[in-house]
Structure 1
Amino acid sequence: MRRLSLALGLLAACAATGASAETVNLTGTYRCIQMCRNGMLDAPAFVTQNGDAVNLTTETGESYRAWPDWSAPYSRIWIDARDEGAVYSPDGMRIQFDDGRVWQRDIGPPPRVAFRRAPVVYSR
Structure 2
Amino acid sequence: MTRLTLVLGMLAALAANDASAQAINLTGIYTCVDKCRGDLPAQITQNGDQLNILTEAGTSSRAWPDWFSPTSRIWIDALEEGAVYSPDGIRIQFDNGTIWVRGLPPPLRR
Asked if TM exceeds 0.5, the reply is: yes
1:94 matched residue in structure 2? 91
Distance 1:33 1:88 in 2: 14
Distance 1:51 1:100 in 2: 26
Residues 44 and 53, structure 2, Cα contact 8 Å, conserved in 1: yes
CA RMSD for the aligned pairs? 2.3
Structure 2 unaligned segments of length 5 or more: list them.
1-15, 106-110
Question: 1:59 aligns to what SS in structure 2?
Answer: coil
Spell out, residue by residue over 1:66-108, the C-alpha distance to the aligned partner (whole angstroms, 9 max, x if none).
Answer: 0001312750000122210000000000000011000000255
2:33 matched residue in structure 1? 33
Give runs of aligned pairs for residues 1-124 of structure 1, distance below 5 A: 19=20, 23-38=23-38, 40=39, 43-72=40-69, 75-106=72-103
Residues 20 and 71, structure 2, Cα contact 8 Å, conserved in 1: no
When normalised by structure 1's length, the TM-score is: 0.63
Spell out, residue by residue over 1:20-70, the C-alpha distance to the aligned partner (whole angstroms, 9 max, x if none).
Answer: 9x61000000100000014x3xx4110000001111101111101000013
Question: 1:82 aligns to what SS in structure 2?
Answer: coil
Q: Between Structure 1 and Structure 2, how many residues are aligned?
A: 88
Distance 1:77 1:84 in 2: 9
4+ runs deviating over 2 angstroms: none
Paired-residue identity, %: 59
Residues 23 and 71, structure 2, Cα contact 8 Å, conserved in 1: no
Residues 60 and 78, structure 2, Cα contact 8 Å, conserved in 1: no
When normalised by structure 2's length, the TM-score is: 0.70
Distance 2:90 2:36 in 1: 17
Return the structure number with greater helix share: 1
Structure 1 unaligned segments of length 5 or more: list them.
1-14, 109-124
